[in-house]
Chain A
Amino acid sequence: MKNNLPELRARHGMTQGALADALNVSRQTVNAIETGRYDPSLPLAFAIAKLFKCRIEDIFTARA
């Protein structure tokens, strides 16, 4: 999956560490998601979408 998490996070003025704390995951996990090395589970994707008040498909899209 592709994602626009770095842009979304920057728009909200959050560091990777702050986002990790808000989601109760490690900073390495946020980094792995942002760089496309890890696709989050559905519960974590929902938690990210809820935090940024948007839909999952606004953040994650299938890689063409």
Chain B
Amino acid sequence: MSPTAIAPVKYAGRNYIIEMAIVSLAYAGVAGLRHWLIAQAPNHALAIAASVLPAVPIWAMFWVVWRYYRRIDEFEQRRFLETLAISFGVGSSLICTYSFLADAGLPELAITWAWPTLAVSWALTTGIMHFARR
């Protein structure tokens, strides 16, 4: 990627935090209203639309992360991808391990747990790698 990115690199982190805060608030609002919206829906089609509404800010979070990736410079992009690769390995291994434990009698968890598991493993890996690279 050219060193002249979309916007000045030094604002990438600040913009990411602002955009992620907005979509996180949107997620919290939509998730909180979801059951009420489903109950209020006049027909089945609108009930389905209301039930899937929290997925919109989830996709927006992915878009915000992508925008951040495009804003940072090549060195930061390399570190970003390294961290993402490690956290994906950790997160997916955790999910797989729990599925075996569920076979042994632990409570079955909904597939929606996969997303926060990957998000938390990404956040923890980012923190650990930050200190490891110092």
List chain A positions with a Cβ less than 8 A from chain B: 20-21, 23-26, 28-29, 32-33, 38, 40-41, 43-44, 47
Tell me which residues across on chain A come within 8 A of B33, comparing CB atoms.
Answer: none
Q: What's the Cα separation between A21 and B5 when bound, in Å?
A: 12
Q: What's the Cα separation between A21 and B72 when bound, in Å?
A: 13
Given contacts A43-B2, A43-B3, A44-B3, whether A24 and B73 have CB atoms under 8 Å apart is yes
Tell me which residues across on chain A come within 8 A of B2, comparing CB atoms.
Answer: 43
Q: What's the Cα separation between A43 and B3 when bound, in Å?
A: 7
| B40-80 interface with A by 8 A CB criterion | 72-76, 78
**CB–CB A26/B75 < 8 A:** yes
- Give the bracket for the number of chain B residues in contact with chain A: 10 to 19
Tell me which residues across on chain B come within 8 A of A43, comparing CB atoms.
Answer: 1-3
Residue on A with the closest CB to B2? A43
**CB–CB B9/A40 < 8 A:** no
Given contacts A21-B10, A26-B9, 13 further A-B contacts (CB under 8 A): A20-B9, A20-B10, A24-B3, A24-B4, A25-B74, A26-B10, A26-B76, A33-B75, A41-B1, A43-B1, A44-B73, A44-B74, A47-B3
